[in-house]
Amino acid sequence: MASPRRNGDQAAAGGRRKESRRLGTLLLVLRVAALCFSLAAAVFAATDGAVLRLPPFRFLLAANAILAVYSVFEVAAAAWEVAKGATLLPEALQLWFDFGHDQGFGYMALAAAAAAAREAALCGGGQERNISSTACLQSDIAVGLGFAAFAFLALAALATGFRLVRFLATGSRLPAGASSPY
């Protein structure tokens, strides 16, 4: 015969797993969005040779391509965590890895989009810039997609930062139990 629940132990554990799964699913959605936008920004930046002659657009292409590759791995890790309930790496290492890389790649994506936005604003002007209006529009779209990729990665960084703080406070990325003093 099963013993009765003491202080809601089993119910609290189920609620903790459910809340952790919700946050994991949110991270998965944010990472998929960052992947889609960074990949689209890289494709838009790569498909016009006239704009790629300018260094900020090469930086935008490289940054978004790197972000897309990173996002593929993070989508796989987030999907694994949602499906299995465990991290790929040891918990502390995974949390620090996610937060640190989200921060670093986020700043890189923001810097690339900001540099390219300045050039996109000047697109088509001057004698040495012989760029068509179609290429200017395409560069504007690439910059916008790059900023959107950064926004989703920044939201993912907030979520991973929350998980890291919870880990540092309670010793687990899962929410604290009902009887926890924290």
Q: Where are the domains of the chain?
A: 54-170
**Which tokens is 137 given?**
């529009």
Rounded to 5 degrees, what are φ and ψ at 65? Answer: -65, -45
- Report the pLDDT value the prediction gives residue 12, as an integer from 0 to 100: 46
Residue 4 predicted with pLDDT over 60: no
Q: Mean pLDDT lowest for which of 66-80, 92-106, 131-145?
A: 131-145
pLDDT tens for 56-75 read: 999 999 999 999 999 999 99
> What is the DSSP track for 25-46?
HHHHHHHHHHHHHHHHHHHHHH
Residue 10 predicted with pLDDT over 60: no
* pTM of the predicted structure, to 2 decimals: 0.81
Query: Average model confidence (pLDDT) for the chain?
Result: 84
**Residue 124: in which H helix or E strand, if any?**
none
**Residue 157: in which H helix or E strand, if any?**
helix 133-170
Question: How much is the average pLDDT of 45-61?
Answer: 85
Of 71, 72, 77, the residue nearest 108 (C-alpha): 71
**Which tokens is 149 given?**
């990729």
- Report the pLDDT value the prediction gives residue 121, as an integer from 0 to 100: 84
Cβ neighbourhood burial of 28 (10 Å; 0-12, 13-18, 19+): buried
Spatial distance between the Cα atoms of 143 and 155, rounded to a whole number of angstroms:
19
pLDDT band for position 173 (50/70/90)? Answer: confident
pLDDT band for position 179 (50/70/90)? Answer: low
Residue 85 predicted with pLDDT over 60: yes
Coil vs helix vs strand at 78:
helix
Spatial distance between the Cα atoms of 100 and 80, rounded to a whole number of angstroms:
20
